[in-house]
Structure 1
Amino acid sequence: MRWQGMPEFIAAAQAQSFTAAAKQIGTSVAHISRSISALEDYYNTQLFIRSTRKVVLTQQGELLLHHAKKAQSVLEQGEWALQKQQAQPSGQLKITAPVMFGEQFIMPLVHEYMALYPKVSVTMILSNQTMDLIGEHIDLAIRIGELADSNLKARRLASRAVIVCASPEYLNEYGQPYVLSELAHHQCLLGHADTWRFQEGERFRHIKIAKTKLRCNSGWALADAAMRGLGLVQLPDYYVQPALQQGQLKEVLHSFAIRKEPISAITPANLYQANATKALMDYLAEHLSDRLGASYDLGLGR
């Protein structure tokens, strides 16, 4: 009986709204209000300061929420342990990934995964914005690069290098750069950023590109432009590696290349992983590296 009303309290505290909490749980606003009033009577303290627009936790409410979330996590882990042996993943997954990378590499693998596990349904959000996993109720995020948020649980799926390259024809005409200062004298093909990233020893450098003949948010389009001799380009290896191997592009400034970056699957650290989430991460970890290496053979980027 001590737990009665706690899910309603946690939902209202996180949403700062009885109405939003009712929608989240699938109940009425009146039920949320009664449940929280019962908790306040039980603990003989005010948990919320109520207004017409939102509700805000009191100091006592903040203290109770801190411990209630821990208890909720333990209960959820217990429920997960009981369900762990279910034969097939099922349920709703909400996923986010960067737009271009998600379209080209993640979504095809998600489609294959859904064909294997037809009881799973997916909501995919393709966005280059860093989303709040807990606030947006996201089960799994794909992120590229080093991770700074310690409140997230990460699993490395693959890695990528970032390469500066150009066609042999362009280099024959304009020369090959050997130091970073020479970039100012070259045509550079840009994506969404105005800077390119490099590394000198342990020092990272961001070089602002002054001259460009083309700006485009598609890596495949930029790789094609570089192969046609329009300029230098800095792209992840999966866009250009086959062209490098075939001699259509040549890498430059290799001594300043940044170290390989991780491609990771991220989940909230304080929540248990549903069977469907774990199965998807396993599938991505098994197949993503091969899919990145096979991108050119699949006809992507031509």
Structure 2
Amino acid sequence: MDRWQAMRIFVKVAETESFAESARQLHMSAPAVTRAVAALEDLIGARLFVRTTRSVKLTEPGSRYLDDCRRILSDIVEAEAAAAGSYATPSGTLAVTASALFGQMYVLPIMHEYLRTYPTVSGRLLFVDRPVNIVEEGVDVAIRIGHLPDSGFSAIKVGSIRRVVCGAPAYFEEHGVPAAPADLKDHRIAASTSAWASPEWRFAHDQRVTISPWLQCNTNDAAIATALAGSGLTRVLHYQIGPALLEGRLQIVLADYEEPPLPVHVLHPEGRHAPAKVRAFVDLAVSRLRENRFIN
């Protein structure tokens, strides 16, 4: 029996929960698929599936064996790809994810540069303000803002980002500058209800202020536009207002009360086995993001 082929058949049956469907997808006969799984069970000395007339479910040993088979088959694919040269030359499609505004402002230009440098690669971008399961959604590289859970993925820190309160000079001329977080209760607040938002604004030294917004916005862009118009204060991640800060159209207040900054990482799941397309993008992204003055 071809052990590699039998493991491949076993994985497909586990994924489809059907011998017939697996046979169809693998372009094999149903009896051949059944024989391959049975031979694998005899070789291992354990049942991998519980079969009924209506379903095919993994046993507990089968679930553990499935993880091992996927890892082994992945290693085989990597070895074959390395021998064929794809691990030396970037090729294929590269999928990258980041939060929506950060991705548009800072990751998109990096992808443009990358694709110009490696014309044999095509790109796919997923800019969303929600957690992305990079394995399930087929993502090669993620740029993450915030503290990372222990995932076993390769993560390279490229900087950190502040959460800041800001407003336009015209607003401060009319309404004054808050000297402490408690003063925000006397100011007009444009609050975002996006993924990062909370009605309770926390500051250093365990100071907390519950905000009663003058205007609620469902996007950071709208809250920032309100601040730019001189109509109120808002709180955002400081990279989001980078150009406006440089141009003097917005000013940061309460800087002495800011919480510790949030780390920014470039993350990918393949570690040292990453193909050339991933390694090349990670190297470029790390370099460009570390050069960015708003990721310090």
Q: Aligned pair in 2 of structure 1 residues 71, 131: CA closer, same or farther (>3 Å)?
A: same
Corresponding letter in the other structure for 1:233: T
SS of corresponding position for 1:94: strand
User: Does residue 162 in structure 1 map to residue 163 in structure 2?
Assistant: yes
Tell me if the contact between 1:18 and 1:32 (Cα under 8 Å) persists in the aligned partners.
no
Deviation at 1:103, TM superposition (A): 2.4
SS of corresponding position for 2:46: coil
Corresponding letter in the other structure for 2:275: A
Q: Aligned pair in 2 of structure 1 residues 35, 122: CA closer, same or farther (>3 Å)?
A: farther
- Structure 1: tracts of 5 or more residues without a match: 295-302
Corresponding letter in the other structure for 2:91: S
Distance across 2 between alignment mates of 1:110 and 1:70: 29
Q: Aligned pair in 2 of structure 1 residues 85, 145: CA closer, same or farther (>3 Å)?
A: same
Q: Aligned pair in 2 of structure 1 residues 215, 16: CA closer, same or farther (>3 Å)?
A: same
Which structure 2 residues correspond to residues 169-184 of structure 1 after superposition, within 5 A? 169-184=170-185
Give 1:300's aligned residue: none
Give 2:116's aligned residue: 115
Q: Aligned pair in 2 of structure 1 residues 207, 9: CA closer, same or farther (>3 Å)?
A: farther
Question: What is the TM-score normalised by the length of structure 2?
Answer: 0.80
Q: Aligned pair in 2 of structure 1 residues 16, 27: CA closer, same or farther (>3 Å)?
A: closer
Deviation at 1:111, TM superposition (A): 2.4
Deviation at 1:209, TM superposition (A): 2.2
Distance across 2 between alignment mates of 1:258 and 1:52: 59
Deviation at 1:248, TM superposition (A): 3.0
Question: What is the TM-score normalised by the length of structure 1?
Answer: 0.79
Tell me if the contact between 1:80 and 1:272 (Cα under 8 Å) persists in the aligned partners.
no
Distance across 2 between alignment mates of 1:283 and 1:190: 35
SS of corresponding position for 1:7: helix
Instruction: Kindly tell me the number of residue pairs found equivalent between the two proteins.
Output: 289
Tell me if the contact between 1:91 and 1:120 (Cα under 8 Å) persists in the aligned partners.
yes
Distance across 2 between alignment mates of 1:88 and 1:209: 52
Give 1:127's aligned residue: 128
Tell me if the contact between 1:21 and 1:32 (Cα under 8 Å) persists in the aligned partners.
no
Q: Aligned pair in 2 of structure 1 residues 248, 99: CA closer, same or farther (>3 Å)?
A: closer
Tell me if the contact between 1:45 and 1:60 (Cα under 8 Å) persists in the aligned partners.
yes
Give 2:228's aligned residue: 227
Q: Percent identity?
A: 29
Corresponding letter in the other structure for 1:231: G
Tell me if the contact between 1:196 and 1:234 (Cα under 8 Å) persists in the aligned partners.
no
Give 1:211's aligned residue: 213
Q: Deviation string for 1:223-278 (max 9, x for gaps)?
A: 33213211111122233344334443322111221223222222225783111011
Distance across 2 between alignment mates of 1:235 and 1:223: 8
- Computed over aligned residues only, the root mean square deviation of the Cα atoms, in angstroms, reads 3.4
Tell me if the contact between 2:201 and 2:210 (Cα under 8 Å) persists in the aligned partners.
no
SS of corresponding position for 1:4: helix
Tell me if the contact between 1:157 and 1:264 (Cα under 8 Å) persists in the aligned partners.
yes
